[in-house]
Amino acid sequence: MPQSPRHSRSTHLLISAMGEQQPGLLDHLTRAILDSGCSVQDSHMAVLGNAFTATLLVSGNWNTLSKLDGALVTLARQQSLDVHTRRTGPGQREGHSLPYSVDVIALDQPGIVHQLVGFFSSRGVTIREMNSQAYTAAHSSTPMFTAHLSVEIPATEHIASLREDFLDLCDELNLDGVIEPIKG
């Protein structure tokens, strides 16, 4: 019997899960996704402090995503997780944009993340992904900061000017920074 187009079309579910870190949480989460007949398209998981956090983009049809919604309610209760979901579509790349990678390392100081985000935002650059970490240097016990961003620069942006402005920002904030095209 043919399925209606709505039920046969692939859809996506964004899942955000947080809870106290304990062994096996990611295993339980990915098992629920697999058992529901869905597939992980993109994911990011981290332990921050004593907390576990995961963000996943899952694909499936209408029926499998509904089944997963129910399984996540049960999993949240069993594992003391905060789970939030939102239906969405597949990711779309910005039209006529260039993928670039940005890496920064510096002495840790308040406001670095805000300054970086503000710099790119003010130029219409989309930040696709950002990871940052404050840490203590092993030999000197100096508080350090590192960040990695994947950005999409509008094709209309003059890359040399953007790079020069970025390096000026790095000089102003005493950051060591690199911006370069993502290859492949």
Contact partners, residue 109, CB within 8 Å, separation at least 6: 145, 173, 174
Angle in degrees, 0-180, between the axes of helices 112-121 and 159-173, rounded to the nearest 10: 160
Average pLDDT over every residue of 92-113: 88
**Does the pLDDT of residue 5 top 50, yes or no?**
no
pLDDT at res. 2: 40
**Does the pLDDT of residue 8 top 50, yes or no?**
no
For CATH 3.30.70.260, the residue range(s) in the chain are: 5-88, 97-181
DSSP H or E run through 79: helix 62-79
Fold for domain 97-181? Answer: Alpha-Beta Plaits (3.30.70)
Does 91 or 137 have the greater pLDDT score?
137
Fold for domain 5-88? Answer: Alpha-Beta Plaits (3.30.70)
Average pLDDT over every residue of 171-180: 96
Question: What whole-number percentage of the chain has pLDDT above 90?
Answer: 82
Largest Cα–Cα distance of the chain, in whole Å?
Answer: 69
pLDDT at res. 126: 94
Instruction: Assess contact for 84 and 18: CB atoms under 8 A.
Output: no
Q: Which of 52, 48, 45 is nearest to 23 (CA)?
A: 52
pLDDT at res. 51: 94
Does 3 or 12 have the greater pLDDT score?
12
